[in-house]
Amino acid sequence: MTRPFPDPATRNPVILPDGTAHAGTVFLKAAIDHPRMEIGDYSYASAHHPPEDWAACLAPYLYPHSPERLRIGRFCQIADGVRFITASANHRRDGFSTFPFAIFDGGFHEGRPSMPGPGPDTVIGHDVWLGSGATVLPGARIGDGVIIGAGAVVGGTIPPYAIVTGNPGAVKRFRFDAEIIESLCAIAWWDWPVEAILAHEAAICGGDVAALHRAAAEVRGHP
């Protein structure tokens, strides 16, 4: 019998056959309390060996005092070993030395010349799948519906519904043609109430864009 879909505030939403919660899968919004991370509902991460601190595991260079943010949309899927290397990991690379002298004598907050300036936010769209061991570089902007292959190292701007593989990560192909991608971004099913999403699961997970358009019209109350 199907159980009720878990609330996004549930820390461990996967229930095993013996009735216990799977410790290695978490809804990130429930598992992370970090002032520089913004995480959408139902985005989850999995780990073979669950960390005590999911924020530090996923984004080890994002500190509470970091100027940048890591923003993750709704319904993202983050596999074991994924790392977000945020801008606070950077060193200066525009001068003769990259060495961060200031961090060793308490000068981190003083604007010392060995420290880089604030870097950009890292932004992950909605319904993004990040494969095992993928690395997302500082300031990356990953579009909705992107698939990032296992072990890929990804930076820059990735357009919606691209498939990215390799190091350096490159767009291998797009999941759908341009017209369908435009439709999917406009429909934005991830913004629907979860009850509507579950009611139209077949349309969302299928390949019939007309059926998804009909579902969207129903959700929005237009025949």
Rounded to 5 degrees, φ, ψ at 79 are -80, 170
d(CA 101, CA 82): 29
From 34, 48, 49, 91, active-site residue:
91
d(CA 181, CA 163): 13
- For residues 206 and 189, is the Cβ–Cβ distance under 8 A? no
Residue 161 tokens, joined: 């519904």
- 48 as an active site residue: the answer is no
d(CA 16, CA 36): 32
CA-to-CA dists, residue 135 to 32, 61, 175, 180, 212, angstroms: 19, 13, 21, 28, 32
**Measured in Å, how far apart are the chain's first and last C-alpha atoms?**
32
Q: Which residues are catalytic?
A: 91
